[in-house]
Structure 1
Amino acid sequence: MKNFFLFFFISAFCFSQNSRWTDYFSYFNIKKIEKSNDLLLCSTENGLFSYNENSGELKKISKVSGLHEVKVNAFTYNTNNNSVIIGYSNGKLDIVKDGEVHLIVDIPFEQNYQGSKQINHIDTDGDYALLSLDFGISVFDLKRMEFRETCYFKNGLTYYKVNKAAILDNKIYAATDYGIYSHENNGLIPNFASWNVYSSGTAYAHIAKFNSSLIIGTKTNLISTSSNGTSWQSIGSYPNLKDIVPTTSKSILIVQDKIISVLNENFVKTNTVSYSESLNTGYLSNGIIYAGTQLKGIQKNNQFIAPDGPYNNSSYSINLLDNKIWIAPGGRNNDNLYRPISNTYGYYYFNGNIWEHIAYDKMNKELYPMRVIPNPSNLNETYVFSYLNGLIKMVDANLSVIFNRNNSPIKFYERLTGGAYDNKGNLIALQAYALNGSKPHNSLIFKTQNDQFAYIDLTSVALSNSDSSTMNPYVDDKGYVWIPAQRGNGLVVYNYNNTPLNTGDDKIYVIENKENKGNLPSNNVICVTLDNSNTAWIGMDVGLRIFRNPYSSLESGSYNVERVIIEQNGLGEEVLRDIRVNCIAVDAANRKWVGTQTSGVFYLSEDGKTLLNKFNSDNSPIPTNMITDIQIDKSGEVFFVTPSGVVSYRGDITDTGDKFGDILAYPNPVRPGYTGNITIKGLAHDAFVKITDVAGNLVYETKAPGGVATWNGNNFNNKPVASGIYLVLMSNADGSEHATTKIAVIR
């Protein structure tokens, strides 16, 4: 068993290190702890990690390193088959066996069943895994890797959720909110009417095997049974009972909210440990109690153990600067964007070395952090945009001041939906539903570096719908603020001419669903970004549009957006038609990363007419298909934010500037049979690239936007080049820098 787990975790870890993907998941909420020799195996919300009791080494496994899903809800391992079994909230299973991860998706469902498929608990007995589900019980054969039987716990139109189950003497016992149900583990279990019920009407949350009996628990009381499960005896009262964990034949852990008790085989309490953190579970190993906390990993004595990461997986927006990361968990409903939803997560900050948690009570118990923006000229100063409480200034992670109705032009309700710094160091914020007088308004707020404010009421001139909820603005370098108004007001463009305190020279424009005023397909605009050629890319609830030459077009007074058409199989099709677009990011090669509400991420060419790649929860480590933010750092690492956590993808495009980096060509050598592109990376931005044979004959030339060039291995006649050594000659855009490398081609 030891060799199996060491192999699995080490190989998974090595894979993740070499992958283009990185997870930024939280591993602090411990769901269950198992053990294999000197390894403690811990399940968390989005994956597992191992802790070596002897060396202290930590290793994690997630979708990045081989798992197929997130939202781990059940976990165990079976020594009989050397199998790790992971159950997810969507009803899927991962079974890790012989160093491979097998995805099991075919739990037999009733034809008309439309309810939850969540796996709540997994127990094993010999070659079988017993799954407790939101609708009943299913038995999985670990040897044959197939489902044997499933029973729907159905009474009329009501399905009984099975919280946990266990097998004792070839008999299944299921703990439900309606009593304990039992049945022989035979071919008749699908017939729910044939199951026996004990203590009907009582809610039972826990059940576990211990020696030759069962330990059964409600949320407050503990009961032991005889070997045949029929004779019950009270063990005692344990309020806020969280888990029952048999550790050996001699002891069992009883886990309450902040207490772990050790009982011996006679159910006599031999030890009690109190904790300051809320618990989910625990484990006893080598005389040490490991407490599985909800917020800080596993606790060993006074030490907290978990892989470093954000405090929580709930995420809404991200900001990147100088190898530092700020993640806000959000304060809005992702389906109904104008509705606030509170949380107590604070925000998460990576300082370049470790993750820090800025607790909500350090921000006057802020419950609605929409976005966290660092001051570019002073990274120790950050601003939290709240959806109900105003603009919160943090200095060295401590509360400095809250700008609200009392000390700034921000109105009641202090509902800030987003903001950004401009290139002059002014902080710009959007406020929705500002009660200015007797009627709610939408406003634009400017704060200068010395805390002077300007307040612009947008309702009377642009946002006619006073209930409109604005989204995060895009602030360009020409003094324009681009304001998506997702509740029917289109895209508002405010030109403040880089003079925020002087409103006399300001202009305002509206791009909407009227001919010659934008001709948008929908006035529900959710995001906007300007690319490297100053074309505006507009995301709506029904798709994507582009707006060319925006400044001159807006000045002309007559303007329309354009569809983006992609050609497939000779037919033109509108890109992302009828798909809600939540965010758009532009990389150094002017390519577009488009995040959607239900379909993951689309990677488009510079003009949007070619789909370069698509990432979703089925073909990548992205946790869910709902993408709420995308940001790209200078190294080309692309960060995808979802409500279930953050992952990143390291592509080839980098923001290299005018200097060459470490030149790398791959594959190199190009071996027989290879027909894909050859990639050359580490180039200066927009570098000129010439490829010649050793005699100096030019066979190919191109330009390298984003520091990357590709060559298909063909010459100017589109014929594959012959075997040989080819020289790659490169110069930056102004010819001041040069570089060379070689590519070997073997035909």
Structure 2
Amino acid sequence: MFKKNLYLLLFLLNICCAFAQEYSEAWTAYFSYNQITALAEANDKIFAAAQNSVFSYDLNTNETQLYSTIQGLSGEAISAIHFSGATGILFVGYTSGLIDVVLPDESVTTLVAIRDKPAILPSEKTINSFDEYNNTLYIATSFGISLFDLSRLEFDDSYFIGNNGARLNIKQTAIFEEYIYAASPNGGLRRALAADDNLIDFQNWETLDPTGWEGIQTFGNALWGVKSNQSLQRFDGANFNAQTTLDRLPVSFLASEDALTISLDSQILIYDASGNLTTTVAALADYPGSYTSAFTSQGQIYLGTDANGLLISSTANTTTALQVLP
């Protein structure tokens, strides 16, 4: 009798443990995809990075696909993502300096070169953003700029462009006309000729403005940037002109073919190539919380949030949104 009761007790305990584990895993998955840190557009898909994983949303089938440690990602804190339309490769950057390369066959290669640089402090290794140009991926980091060759799938040079070759926090880079521009909160706006074979020499970089810059994007026929004083600037190749002053610094600043999208934590501002504010997305009553990132493409607005996953709204009606969670 005692043995029967013992077996029954063990059986019930196993059921409870299994249920608790399944519930815990489901609960963890639910939360892990609610807080979005970065977005990327990929032909007919949208990639959304959560804290330590990524999911894609197929615009044609409405299906989602997960990318996590199960699929080979590193599982650390994600700071930036980029999809290369030319190669079909997804790049996932981390605050540690790691970069996961998700190939078209969905195999994953982890690049450790930045993380393992011994002369750079861990706090300076964050991958801030990616910018693709002429088969080269420009990687803006908290120490400078690293180049990744998309043909050979390997790192090229790293640029330390601070004063006297010091490390410098670069938030974004952009190619405009024949120059590469780099925006730095503590080093201003700097540029160099993109075709120069010796950009590793800091003396080949000039400082256009020594005051802080938070972001830089090429959009339309101009270069656009946000300064640390919250002003939106437009550069036509000769001069910078202030377009407006934002209420606060943006949490993301992204250009697509048809719109420049500025994400504030409580609203989204969308500009056309002439600098006109065409659309404003306020906080959505059905999805309380803050925005973390956004971009606009073909009239659709893709919103990353801190608690509601990916939201999809439109320039035609900004009061409603479709919520996407895996």
Please report the TM-score for the alignment, with normalisation by the length of structure 2.
Answer: 0.79
Tell me the equivalent position of 1:243.
252
Give the letter aligned to residue 224 of structure 2: I
Greater CA drift, 68-77 or 106-115: 106-115
Residues 593-742 of structure 1: pairs in structure 2 closer than 5 A: none
SS state at 1:270 partner: strand
Q: Tell me if the contact between 1:75 and 1:86 (Cα under 8 Å) persists in the aligned partners.
A: yes
Partner of 2:113: 106
Distance 1:105 1:270 in 2: 42
Q: Does 2:298 correspond to 1:255?
A: no
Determine if the alignment matches structure 1 residue 32 to structure 2 residue 38: yes
1:177-204, Cα deviation, whole Å (9 max, x unpaired) = 220011123321112232100211x211
Match of 2:70 in 1: 64
Cα distance, 1:123 vs structure 2: 0.8
Match of residue 293 from structure 2: 281
Q: Which has the higher contact order (CA 8 A, sep 6+)?
A: 2
Letter in 1 for 2:222: S
Inter-partner Cα distance in structure 1 for 2:157 and 2:65: 35
| Alpha carbons of structure 1 residues 299 and 66: separation in structure 2 relative to 1, 3 Å | same
Q: Secondary structure at the match of 2:171?
A: strand
SS at match of 1:193: helix
Counterpart residue number, 1:51? 57
Write the distance in 2 (CA, Å) between the matches of 1:155 and 1:86.
Answer: 30
The corresponding residue for 1:207 is 216
Between 137-146 and 239-248, report the one with greater CA deviation.
239-248
Secondary structure, counterpart of 1:197 in structure 2: strand
Alignment-mate amino acid for residue 304 of structure 1: Q
Cα RMSD after superposing both structures: 2.4
Alpha-carbon displacement from aligned partner over 1:616-656 (angstroms, at most 9, x marks no partner): xxxxxxxxxxxxxxxxxxxxxxxxxxxxxxxxxxxxxxxxx
Letter in 2 for 1:196: E
- Aligned 8 A contact 1:251 1:265 in 2: yes
Q: How far is the alpha carbon of 1:47 from its aligned partner? A: 1.4
The 1:169/1:85 distance shift into structure 2, 3 A limit, reads farther
Structure 1 equivalent of residue 310 of structure 2: 298
Q: Does the aligned pair in 1 maintain the 2:160–2:167 contact within 8 Å?
A: yes
Please tell me whether the aligned partners of residues 54 and 66 of structure 2 are also in contact (alpha carbons under 8 angstroms). Answer: yes
How many pairs were matched up?
A: 283
Q: What per-residue deviation string (whole Å, max 9, x for no partner) do you get for residues 240-299 of structure 1?
A: 222222222x32222222111221111111221201531121132442322211221122
Q: What do residues 597-621 of structure 1 show as CA deviations (whole Å, max 9, x unaligned)?
A: xxxxxxxxxxxxxxxxxxxxxxxxx
Q: 1:139 and 1:174 mapped to 2: Cα distance? A: 13
Distance 2:225 2:72 in 1: 35
C-alpha displacement at 1:158, in angstroms? 5.9
Residue of structure 2 aligned with 1:138, choices 131, 135, 146? 146
3-state DSSP of counterpart to 1:159: coil
Q: Deviations over 1:361-380 (max 9, x none)?
A: xxxxxxxxxxxxxxxxxxxx
The answer to whether the Cα contact below 8 Å between 1:150 and 1:189 also exists between their aligned partners in 2 is: no
Q: Does 1:191 align with 2:201?
A: yes
The letter of the residue matching 1:38 is D
Q: Is the 8 A contact 1:108 1:150 kept in 2?
A: no
Whether 2:180 is the aligned partner of 1:172: answer yes
Query: Hey, what does 1:599 align to over in structure 2?
Result: none
**2:266–2:282 Cα contact (<8 Å) kept:** yes
| Separation of aligned partners in 2, 1:102 and 1:278 | 33
Q: Is the 8 A contact 1:80 1:126 kept in 2?
A: no
SS state at 1:59 partner: strand
Task: Provide the residue aligned with 1:488 in structure 2.
Answer: none
Q: In the alignment, which residue of structure 2 is the partner of 1:181?
A: 190
Question: Residue 64 of structure 1: SS of its match in structure 2?
Answer: coil
* Deviation per residue, 1:393-450 (Å, 9 max, x gap): xxxxxxxxxxxxxxxxxxxxxxxxxxxxxxxxxxxxxxxxxxxxxxxxxxxxxxxxxx
Contact between 2:165 and 2:202, CA under 8 Å: does it hold in 1? no
TM-score by length of 1: 0.36
Q: What letter matches 1:297 in structure 2?
A: G
Compute the displacement of 1:58 (Å): 2.2
**Partners of 1:63 and 1:70 within 8 A in 2:** no
For residues 75 and 176 of structure 2, the distance between their equivalents in structure 1, rounded to whole angstroms, comes to 31
Whether 2:103 is the aligned partner of 1:97: answer yes
**Counterpart in the other structure of 1:563:** none
Change beyond 3 A, Cα 1:144–1:239: same
For 1:106, the aligned partner's letter is A
Q: Measure the CA separation in 2 of the matches of 1:119 and 1:233.
A: 29
Q: After the TM superposition, which residues 484-499 of structure 1 pair with which residues of structure 2 at under 5 Å, given as runs?
A: none
Cα offset, 1:139, TM superposition: 0.9
- Measured in 2, the distance between the counterparts of 1:69 and 1:126 equals 30
Q: Does 1:217 align with 2:226?
A: yes
Match runs of 1:146-545 below 5 Å: 146-155=154-163, 159-177=167-185, 178-185=187-194, 186-200=196-210, 202-219=211-228, 220-226=230-236, 228=237, 230-240=238-248, 241-248=250-257, 250-275=258-283, 276-300=288-312, 301-307=320-326
Report if aligned partners of 1:34, 1:41 keep a CA contact under 8 Å in 2: yes
Residue type of the alignment partner of 2:235: T
Q: Deviations over 1:500-529 (max 9, x none)?
A: xxxxxxxxxxxxxxxxxxxxxxxxxxxxxx
Name the CA distance, whole Å, in 2 between partners of 1:221 and 1:59. 38
Q: Which runs of 5+ in 2 are unaligned?
A: 1-24, 313-319
More helix by share: 2
Q: CA deviation at 1:57?
A: 2.2
Instruction: State the shift of 1:141 in Å.
Output: 0.4
Alignment identity in percent?
24
- The aligned counterpart of 1:76 is 82
Which amino acid in 2 is paired with 1:305?
V
Measure the CA separation in 1 of the matches of 2:117 and 2:322: 47
CA contact (8 A) 1:73 1:88 kept: yes
- Alpha carbons of 1:167 and 1:306: their partners in 2 closer, same or farther (altered >3 Å)? same
CA distance in structure 2 between the partners assigned to 1:237 and 1:290 by the alignment: 24
Aligned equivalents of 1:218, 1:306: Cα separation in 2: 34
Give the aligned residue type for 2:223. Answer: L
Structure 1, 113-122 or 75-84: larger mean CA deviation: 113-122
Give me the whole-angstrom Cα distance separating, in 1, the residues matched to 2:306 and 2:254: 17
What does residue 119 of structure 1 align with?
127
The answer (yes or no) to whether the contact 2:131–2:139 under 8 Å persists in 1 is yes
Instruction: Check 1:80–1:181 CA distance in 2 against 1; reply closer, same or farther (3 A cut).
Output: same
Deviation at 1:155, TM superposition (A): 3.7
* 1-structure distance, mates of 2:79, 2:306: 14
Shift of 1:108: 9.3
Report the CA distance shift for 1:120/1:191 in structure 2 as closer, same or farther (over 3 A). same
Unaligned runs of 5+ in 1: 1-20, 308-747
2:20 alignment counterpart = none
Aligned partner (choices 96, 121, 128) of residue 136 of structure 2: 128
2:259/2:297 contact within 8 Å kept: no
- Structure showing greater Rg: 1
Structure 1 outlier segments of 4+, above 4 Å = 108-111
